[in-house]
Amino acid sequence: MSGWHKSSWSDTGGHCVEVREHQDAVDVRDTQNRNAGHLSFTAVEWAALVATAAR
């Protein structure tokens, strides 16, 4: 599993999310509130989310 990294969609004003990709899923967490946990998406769910956000 790769480590957490800042999403390329995050801005430079401190409003960031971090992502972590692994075999069949993607985890997402708030950079400013890492201890709150993370959301997990399957690869299919993540692709649908990114496609919707891009529209």
Whether the full predicted model's pTM is greater than 0.95, yes or no, is no
Residue 46 exposed, middle or buried by CB count within 10 Å (0-12, 13-18, 19+): middle
From first to last of its 55 residues, what are the pLDDT tens digits of the chain? 558 888 776 666 667 888 899 888 999 998 888 889 999 999 999 999 989 988 8
Q: Are 44 and 54 in contact (CB under 8 A)?
A: no
Query: How confident is the model at residue 11, as a pLDDT?
Result: 66
Query: How confident is the model at residue 48, as a pLDDT?
Result: 95
Query: How confident is the model at residue 50, as a pLDDT?
Result: 87
Query: How confident is the model at residue 9, as a pLDDT?
Result: 66
